[in-house]
A and B are shown apart, each in its own frame.
Chain A
Amino acid sequence: DARVTQTPRDKVTEMGQEVTMRCQPILGHNTVFWYRQTMMQGLELLAYFRNRAPLDDSGMPKDRFSAEMPDATLATLKIQPSEPRDSAVYFCASGKRGTQNSPLHFGNGTRLTVT
């Protein structure tokens, strides 16, 4: 069964440190999303890519977050410097031909704790 793989599974870091989260989308999927989930806000869209090109990153704090797809098998989300309010579960999801016609497949997330 093809699946979206996210690493690390858990990350605990101190405020001010750089955090990098990685995602391997399902082979053949051309759309990749980054979501953040918290109890208060639920799931929020941070950024997404189609065919490796960034289409929307309006959900990200631009001064500290950056998202890239160096190649079709890897998407990264970086936070520098990290802050306690960034503590959340970060999900990557991939899909075919956008979301209009096909469901998204989610990874199991990276649980980030910033102390």
Chain B
Amino acid sequence: KQEVTQIPAALSVPEGENLVLNCSFTDSAIYNLQWFRQDPGKGLTSLLLIQSSQREQTSGRLNASLDKSSGRSTLYIAASQPGDSATYLCAVVSGGGADGLTFGKGTHLIIQP
């Protein structure tokens, strides 16, 4: 059974810092890995999707990398801003034809002004 772990569970940094969020998964047979953002009381917003054949994806100040063989992904946030404060979740679509995403429990990020 696929398991997804995110470290750290919570992170608080001053505005302007670059930071890295980590995600690991136990079964490397994945179709893709997705990073989401969740604001309090809201649903999830998709940030980046990395196909299993890709190594990284970039969107603005966000860069996500994928090392499928080692079961790891990182989300890099450059020049953090208070508006980046949210919970960031990592999820994988495993092989075997199933579509369901398996989620980590998220990293709660606070950017201090």
Contacts and interface: CB of A to CB of B under 8 A. Distances in A.
Nearest to B30: A100
Interface string B29-48: 00110101000011111100
A93 B2 CA distance: 20
B99 A48 contact: yes
A113 to B, nearest CB: 14
Which has the most chain B C-beta neighbours within 10 Å: A43, A56, A95, A108? A43
A95 B89 CA distance: 18
Nearest to A4: B43
Contact of A56 (B93, B98, B103, B105): B98
A109 B46 contact: no
A108 B46 CA distance: 13
A55 B45 CA distance: 24
Contact of A104 (B42, B46, B51, B105): B46
Contacts of A56: 98, 100
A99 B93 contact: yes
Given A48-B100, A99-B99, A99-B101, A105 B31 contact: no
A103 B91 CA distance: 11
A56 B97 CA distance: 11
Interface string B7-51: 000000000000000000000000110101000011111100101
Given A43-B89, A100-B31, A102-B49, A33 B100 contact: yes
A108 B43 contact: yes
A100 B51 CA distance: 8
B99 A43 contact: no
Nearest to B52: A100
A100 B43 contact: no
A12 B31 CA distance: 38
Contacts of A55: 98-99
Interface string A39-63: 0001101001010000110000000
A82 interface: no
Interface of A: 4, 31, 33, 42-43, 45, 48, 50, 55-56, 91, 93, 95, 98-109
What 4 A-B pairs have minimum CB-CB distances, sorted nearest first? A103-B46, A106-B43, A43-B103, A42-B105
